[in-house]
């Protein structure tokens, strides 16, 4: 009995590692006859594992999907990866799965060998119970993933950056994650062009639309298209500023994604900054900790004046707190 149980576990492990297995290959791996493989497959079916079989010379076995989740056999690295993923998901960018992730992690830890538990404990992270501003509802994410997989048109209400809403209809192609945000790449049927949409801003309409024939993706694929759209969002404005410091001093502070430098005299250089607004650029300038002159656009000077007035107000508040302490 023990030998049979061990062989069943090994058979199950083999079926989980490859999509298709020839009966002869399984028999060779298990060092048994093909007839024994057939009997063992029947036993796996009896305890809830759906194993599909095809007859004939080229026939074989395939582990299928069942009505319920049967136990899975994972090696050490696979179990660790799943556990760490569940631990991270508890405080991730998808709303509504935190509690389920923690329940699943608890069940997994209960059956983990101590050697894996020690590795997981070394990777332990603390989760702050706070939903991210751009967290995506798990049901919405699942719905969007489903229509992408099935190539079905999707209608949804979409909230733009300015808060206005509009009904959109797209051929959905792929979900893309960037940082804590999820994006949908789709072919916009009204605009007849590729568009990307933040998933946390859309509300799918059910039922979904008819199936469609997939188009070739944009150059570079889905991730590259979404990344380019994100870059455009954060480069709505540009400004030129002269800094009273050498280019060698400033260069380590400037990331190529949002700034470029032009050399000037020995103690000055010109910085071209990109941002989502002039107000944000005005705030950034304090990070260089050096005198500067706004070259372009003139509107940036107004934003710098607002920042200066704000700092003057803060300065007065801090000085007042110190004076009140001294007077006591």
Contacts of 247 (CB under 8 A, 6+ apart): 261, 262, 263, 264, 269
The residue among 318, 315, 267 whose CA lies nearest residue 291 is 267
- Percentage of the chain surpassing pLDDT 70? 79
Domain boundaries, the chain: 2-63, 76-122, 136-233, 237-311
Query: What per-residue confidence (pLDDT) applies to 146?
Result: 86
Query: What per-residue confidence (pLDDT) applies to 299?
Result: 94
Q: What is the CATH number of domain 237-311?
A: 3.30.70
The band of 195, judged by pLDDT with boundaries at 50, 70 and 90, is very high
The band of 247, judged by pLDDT with boundaries at 50, 70 and 90, is confident
Query: What per-residue confidence (pLDDT) applies to 121?
Result: 67
pLDDT higher at 52 or 233? 52
Would you say residue 128 has pLDDT above 60? no
pLDDT higher at 291 or 59? 291
The three-state DSSP-derived secondary structure of the chain is CHHHHHHHHHHHHHHHHCCCEEHHHHHHHHCCCHHHHHHHHHHHHHCCCCEEEECCCCCEEEECCCCCCCCCCCCHHHHHHHHHHHHHHCCCCEECCHHHHHHHHHHHHHCCCHHHHHHHHHCCCCCCCCCCCCCEEHHHHHHHHHHHHHCECEEEEEECCCCCEEEEEEEEEEEEEECCEEEEEEEECCCCEEEEEEHHHEEEECCCCCECCCCCCCCCHHHHHHHHHHHHHCCCEEEEEEECCCHHHHHHHCCCCCEEEEECCCCCEEEEEEECCHHHHHHHHHHHCCCEEEEECCHHHHHHHHHHHHHHHHHHHHHHHHHHHHHC
The band of 123, judged by pLDDT with boundaries at 50, 70 and 90, is low
Q: Is the preceding peptide bond at 207 cis, omega within 30 degrees of 0?
A: yes
Name residue, tokens 């995506």.
Answer: 136
For range 236-259, the mean pLDDT: 86
Topology (CATH) of 2-63 = Arc Repressor Mutant, subunit A (1.10.10)
The pLDDT mean for the chain works out to 81
Query: What per-residue confidence (pLDDT) applies to 113?
Result: 76
Q: For residue 158, count CB atoms less than 10 angstroms from its CB and return exposed for 0-12, middle for 13-18, buried for 19 or more.
A: middle
Query: What per-residue confidence (pLDDT) applies to 189?
Result: 94
Kindly report which listed range (33-37, 43-47, 69-73, 113-117) carries the lowest average pLDDT score: 69-73
Select the highest-mean-pLDDT range: 20-24, 122-126, 320-324: 20-24
Would you say residue 215 has pLDDT above 80? yes
For range 39-49, the mean pLDDT: 85
How do 237-243 and 269-275 pair as beta strands?
antiparallel
pLDDT higher at 55 or 168? 168
Name residue, tokens 């300038």.
Answer: 285
The band of 67, judged by pLDDT with boundaries at 50, 70 and 90, is very low
The band of 158, judged by pLDDT with boundaries at 50, 70 and 90, is very high
């Amino acid at each position: 009995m023990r030998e049979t149980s061990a062989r069943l576990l090994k058979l199950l492990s083999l079926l989980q590692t490859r999509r298709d297995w020839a009966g002869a290959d399984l028999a060779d791996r298990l060092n048994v006859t093909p007839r024994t493989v057939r009997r063992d497959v029947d036993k796996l079916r009896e305890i809830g594992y759906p194993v599909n079989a095809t007859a004939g010379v080229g026939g074989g076995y395939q582990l299928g999907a069942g009505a319920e989740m049967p136990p899975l056999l994972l090696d050490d690295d696979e179990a660790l990866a799943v556990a760490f993923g569940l631990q991270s998901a508890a405080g991730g960018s998808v709303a509504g799965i935190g509690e389920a992730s923690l329940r699943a992690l608890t069940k997994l830890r209960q059956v983990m060998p101590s050697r894996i538990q020690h590795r997981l404990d070394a990777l332990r992270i603390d989760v702050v119970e706070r939903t991210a501003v751009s967290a995506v509802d798990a049901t919405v994410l699942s719905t969007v993933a489903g229509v992408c997989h099935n190539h079905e048109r999707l209608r949804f209400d979409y909230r733009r950056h300015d808060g206005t809403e509009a009904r959109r209809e797209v051929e959905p192609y792929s979900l893309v994650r960037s940082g804590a945000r999820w994006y949908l790449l789709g072919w916009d049927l009204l605009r007849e062009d590729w568009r990307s949409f933040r998933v946390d801003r859309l509300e799918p309409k059910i039922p979904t639309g008819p199936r469609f024939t997939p188009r070739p993706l944009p150059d570079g694929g889905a991730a590259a298209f979404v990344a380019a759209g994100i870059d455009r969002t954060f480069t709505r404005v540009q400004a030129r500023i002269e800094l009273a410091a050498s280019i060698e001093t400033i260069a380590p502070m400037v990331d190529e994604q949002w700034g470029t430098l032009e050399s000037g005299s020995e103690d000055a250089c010109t910085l071209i900054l990109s941002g989502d607004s002039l107000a944000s650029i005005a705030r950034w300038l304090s990070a260089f900790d050096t005198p500067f002159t706004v070259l372009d656009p003139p509107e940036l000077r107004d934003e710098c004046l607002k920042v200066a007035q704000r700092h003057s107000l803060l300065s007065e508040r801090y000085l007042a707190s110190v004076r009140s302490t001294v007077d006591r």
